[in-house]
Structures are given as C-alpha cells and as structure tokens.
Structure 1
Amino acid sequence: MTLPLRSRRRALVTGAFAASVCAAGLIAPLASARADDATATKPGVITVSAEGMTAIAPDMAVISLTVLREAETAREALDANNAAMNEVLSAMKEEGIAERDLQTGGFSIQPRWVYPDSNTTPREAPSIVGYQVQNTLTVRVRSLDRLGAILDTSVSLGVNQGGNIVFTNDDQESIRDQARVDAISRARAKAEQMTEALGVGLGRITEISENQRSGQPVPMMRAEMAAMSAKGADSVPVASGESEYRVTVSVTWEIDQ
C-alpha cells in the first residue's frame, strides 16, 4: 500500500530523529569513557625551586666623580667647572682609561637663592646671590690596583662630590652560567630526594623558569686586600671584596609511578 506524501515525509523525519538519538546515545558514553581514560592516565607532577650562587672577586669598578663650582654668575660658575672637569678628563686618560669608559652622568646649573626673614616689614622678595654648576663623570676602572690612586688624583684636580663605587665584573654572563648550572643541579638533587622518599621516579621535564640577580659585594679577608689598603698616603684605601651572582630556577617534572 502506498502512503500519502505527507505520511511518507512524517515517517522519514521520525526515522532520522530516532537514528540521531541512537547515535547520541552511543557517542555520549564513548566521550565520557575517553575523558575518564585521559584523567586516569595523566601523570602527576612535581615542581622544585633551587638557588645557585657564584661568588667571585670583581675585575672592574664604576665610580662617579662630581665637580661642583659656585660663582656670582652662571657664566663664571660654568667656566670654573669646565676647567676643573677638563683636568679630570685628561688625568683619567693619562691613567689609561679608554674613551668608552668615560661618560657624563649628569649636568646641572642651579641658582643660589637667599630668602629674607619673613618677619620683616615690608616683606622682601627672595633674591639670587649666585649660581652653582654641577658636572658628574662616570668612570669604569678596569685596573682595580689603580682605583685608589685614581680617586686620590681626581680629588686633587677638583672633584668635590660623588665618589660612589660599584664593584662588578666585565663578563657577567659566564659567571651567571655557572650559577645557573649550580641551581639546576640543586633542583634535580632535591627532586630526586623527594621522589625517592615517595617511592616514585622522575619523568620528563614539562616546564622550567629562572630568575637571576646580583648581590652586594661581600668583604674578603685576604692578605692582598689588606696590602692594597695600606699602599701609602697617596692612595685612597679600597677593598673590593667579592660579588655574588645568584640564579633561581623552578623545574617541573612528570612523576613516573
């Protein structure tokens, strides 16, 4: 018997709906099973942080030398400052300081104000009584045995402010490489100790990160440092100590059950 067209369409739609419901019923348990399998097989992880450190004597110093001059006019103060700073620059070059290690770190011209007593009547306005010019020279000293003499010479030539000293190393990256290797070795040793206590093993590394910093110089009690400090009255006593370079790493391993 042939069904009417409307009945045939209704039968086709009903059959398609039943087939889709059947397929969904099959797919849902399959997806759930796969999710359960993924959860069951996903390995645990362990994350360990460790710090490595390299302490080394500095081989370079960075110093700040400032010339400050005052005069009644800005022109006179600037001329006096220029004359003194030119002498300092010439002396640095005679000491073997290269052009690349000499850099102007700051320059300023400031008026000197006088503020009258506020109780006077009528009240007087503040006035300029002079000017001061300040010029700062940053110097990288690569021969530390000459540092004391350079400081003494600079003061003799007119440096009257500054003198800040920062001890550092020229090739810092290779020093940090040593600290990094030390940090990774410590991290692995710590992770192996923890997993051994838990009765599991270390798998592959899934993540690693690092943070690095340089510490302040630590004084070294060495005979040569004492000898450097006692060279004579014509040299500023200087002790360079040791500089510490630290690298912290964080490593994540999968755990082998």
Structure 2
Amino acid sequence: MRNIILPALLLAGVVGAPLAAGAQEPVQPRIHVAGEGEAAVAPDMAILTLTVMRDGDTARIALDGANEAMNAVVSAMREAGIEGRDLQTSGLQISPRYVYPQDGQGQPRITGYEVINTLTVRVREIAEVGELLDLSVTLGVNQGGQITFTNADPKAVLEEARRAAVTDARTRAETLADAAGVTLGSVVEISEVSRRPTPMPIAGAAMRMEAAADAAVPVEAGENVYRVEVTVTFSIGE
C-alpha cells in the first residue's frame, strides 16, 4: 500500500509547487488614464419628423382626413426629389376622445376619434429643409417639429476625434509618470466610447401653425460635434 500512496503524494507536491509560486508573483505596476477627443463637421443630412393629426365623429372620418393630408405630404416630398428609401411611416395612432361626467358619476362617453400619422423624412440637401417644412405645413402637417442634423458617413470625423482622445490619454499618462518619477511603458489595454451629436429639436410651435408662412421656415444647421472617450492602461517601464 505504501508503494502506491507515496508516489501519489510526491506527484501532488510537484504539481502544487508552481501554482503556489505563481500566486506569489507581484502585480506589475500600471498607469490607468482616460482621454477625451472631439471633432466638428457641418451636417450633410437632416431627419424631419412630420405629423398629421385629424379628428372626427367616427374613426373612419378621422382616418380618412389623416390619410388625405399625409398622402398629399408624401406626394409633395417625392416631387421635391426625396427618394422612397428616405420616407418612412414612423407612427400611426387611432384614439377615442372621451367626455367625463362633471359630477363624477357614470361612465365616460366617447364623443369622437383622433388619428395621428407620423412621417420621418431624410433630407440629403440641407438647403431644402426650410422649404420642405413650409410645404408640409401648407399641405396639412400640424404637429411634430423635430429636426435632427446628422452626417451620412461620420467615419472620418470620428477617426479624428479618436486620435485626439488617444493623444490626450497619452499626455495625461506622461504627466503622471513624470510626476511619479517613473518611465511610461507601452500600452497594455485600450477601450473606447463614441458619442454622437445629440438631436436638437426646433421649437414645437414652428410646426403647430394653422396657416403657412409666406417664406420658407428659417433653419440653421450649425455643426455637429462628435466626441470619443478612451481608457488606456500603460505599463511602467524599467
């Protein structure tokens, strides 16, 4: 029995030795920093949200009114050069309207219906945005009011922001290393978070007009600022 047990015990001791030695290895000193970078570019595309609201004594009447107005808006968008891929129905809602008893007694009564139809339009020519907004109101759009200015392909500006963020992180790490009296080593780990521009809605009142203005709606596109944040881990040199 001893001849069988003893080798097993010896083997366990040999296998366990490296594990114990590995557990005692010191953690390599590192520097962790965050870097920020941003780059600005003029938008080359606008996304409009156009809504038609109609009401009627019945759901049918309300829906027919909304359909007529929205069909006119869609036709006008196509005639203005907006492609089918840039037109999308983004919402359709049919809701009853209620009247509640003033004395709080009894059940609410349906007095009519409301239909809301929302169209999302991508406009690839920024200069046409104001004219299209004005035209949509003339044809029956009476709710909405959000314009998102964006870029069809932001890869180049994001790359610029990314490089700025990494440069910022390295500068911070070099400052820390210099203050601590050590040498900055190579990059051990890096991760990124990209932040696109926040959509900026125009004033809602601009879309709740009962009559069209004589001139196109004034619109200023400004510029989009893309931000990138990185976290970088550097080793400390010998």
2:117 matched to which residue of 1?
135
Gaps of at least 5 residues in structure 2 are 201-212
Counterparts of 1:71-86 in structure 2 under 5 Å? 71-86=56-71
How many correspondences in the alignment? 223
What displacement does 1:251 show?
Answer: 0.7
CA RMSD of aligned residues (A): 2.9
Quick check: 1:111 aligned with 2:100?
Answer: no
What displacement does 1:145 show?
Answer: 0.6
Contact 1:104 1:137 in 2 (8 A): yes
Quick check: 1:101 aligned with 2:101?
Answer: no
- The amino acid across from 1:184 in the alignment is V
Distance 2:160 2:74 in 1: 37
Say which structure is richer in helix. Answer: 1
Distance 2:14 2:193 in 1: 48
Contact 1:62 1:138 in 2 (8 A): yes
Cα gap change, 1:197 to 1:76, in 2 (>3 Å)? same
2:197 matched to which residue of 1?
215
TM-score (norm 1): 0.77
2:219 matched to which residue of 1?
238
Residue deviations 1:67-101, cap 9 Å, x none? 11111111111111111101000111111111111
Cα gap change, 1:235 to 1:36, in 2 (>3 Å)? closer
Find the residue that maps to 1:237 and give its secondary structure.
coil
Quick check: 1:251 aligned with 2:222?
Answer: no
Find the residue that maps to 2:141 and give its secondary structure.
coil
2:203 matched to which residue of 1?
none
Counterparts of 1:1-257 in structure 2 under 5 Å? 13=2, 34=21, 38-39=25-26, 43-118=28-103, 123-216=105-198, 233-257=214-238
What displacement does 1:217 show?
Answer: 6.9
Find the residue that maps to 1:152 and give its secondary structure.
helix
What displacement does 1:163 show?
Answer: 1.7
What displacement does 1:200 show?
Answer: 2.3
Cα gap change, 1:130 to 1:27, in 2 (>3 Å)? closer
Cα gap change, 1:32 to 1:211, in 2 (>3 Å)? closer
Residue deviations 1:109-144, cap 9 Å, x none? 11111222226xxx4532222111110001111111
Cα gap change, 1:131 to 1:189, in 2 (>3 Å)? same
After superposing the two structures, state which structure 1 stretch, 174-183 or 145-154, moved more: 174-183
Find the residue that maps to 1:182 and give its secondary structure.
helix
Contact 1:59 1:144 in 2 (8 A): yes
Distance 1:36 1:117 in 2: 77
Identity %: 47
Larger radius of gyration: 1
Find the residue that maps to 1:111 and give its secondary structure.
strand
Find the residue that maps to 2:102 and give its secondary structure.
coil
